Amino acid sequence: MTEIVLQRQDSSFKKGIQAGLTIAIGYAPVALTFGLLAKTTGLTIGETVLMSMIVFAGAAQYISLSLIALGTSALEIILTTFIVNIRHFLMSTALNEKAEEDHLLYKAIYSFGITDESFSVVATRDGILKTGFILGVNSIGYFSWVIFSAIGFVIGANLPQILQESMSVALYAMFIGLLVPSMKNGIKFVFLAVLAACFNSIFIYTKILATGWGIVAATISSAVIVEFMERKKKSQGGKQNEQ
pLDDT in tens, 76-101: 888 888 887 888 888 888 888 888 88
- The pLDDT value recorded for residue 153 is 92
Q: Which of 135, 138, 133, 98 is nearest to 118 (CA)?
A: 138
- The pLDDT value recorded for residue 179 is 61
- The pLDDT value recorded for residue 200 is 74
pLDDT, tens only, 192-216: 777 777 877 787 778 777 666 676 7
Q: What percent of the chain has pLDDT over 90?
A: 13
pLDDT grade, residue 46 (50/70/90)? very high
Asked if the model's pLDDT at residue 118 lies above 50, the reply is yes
pLDDT grade, residue 167 (50/70/90)? low
Q: What is the DSSP letter of 73?
A: -
pLDDT, tens only, 131-149: 889 999 999 999 999 999 9
Burial profile 209-221: b = 16 or more Cβ within 10 angstroms, e = fewer: bbbbbbbbbbbeb
Range scoring the smallest mean pLDDT among 71-85, 106-120, 178-192, 200-214: 178-192
Average pLDDT, the chain: 78
Please tell me the distance from the alpha carbon of residue 97 to that of residue 124, in angstroms, as a whole number: 13
Asked if the model's pLDDT at residue 175 lies above 60, the reply is no
The count of other CB atoms within 10 Å of the CB of residue 89 is 10
42 burial (CB, 10 Å; 0-12 / 13-18 / 19+) is exposed
Q: Which of 116, 159, 111 is nearest to 131 (CA)?
A: 111
What's the start-to-end Cα distance of the chain, in Å? 63
- The pLDDT value recorded for residue 178 is 53
Whole-model pTM: value is: 0.70
Asked if 31 contacts 62 with a C-beta cutoff of 8 angstroms, the reply is no
Chain centroid, CA 5 distance in Å = 33
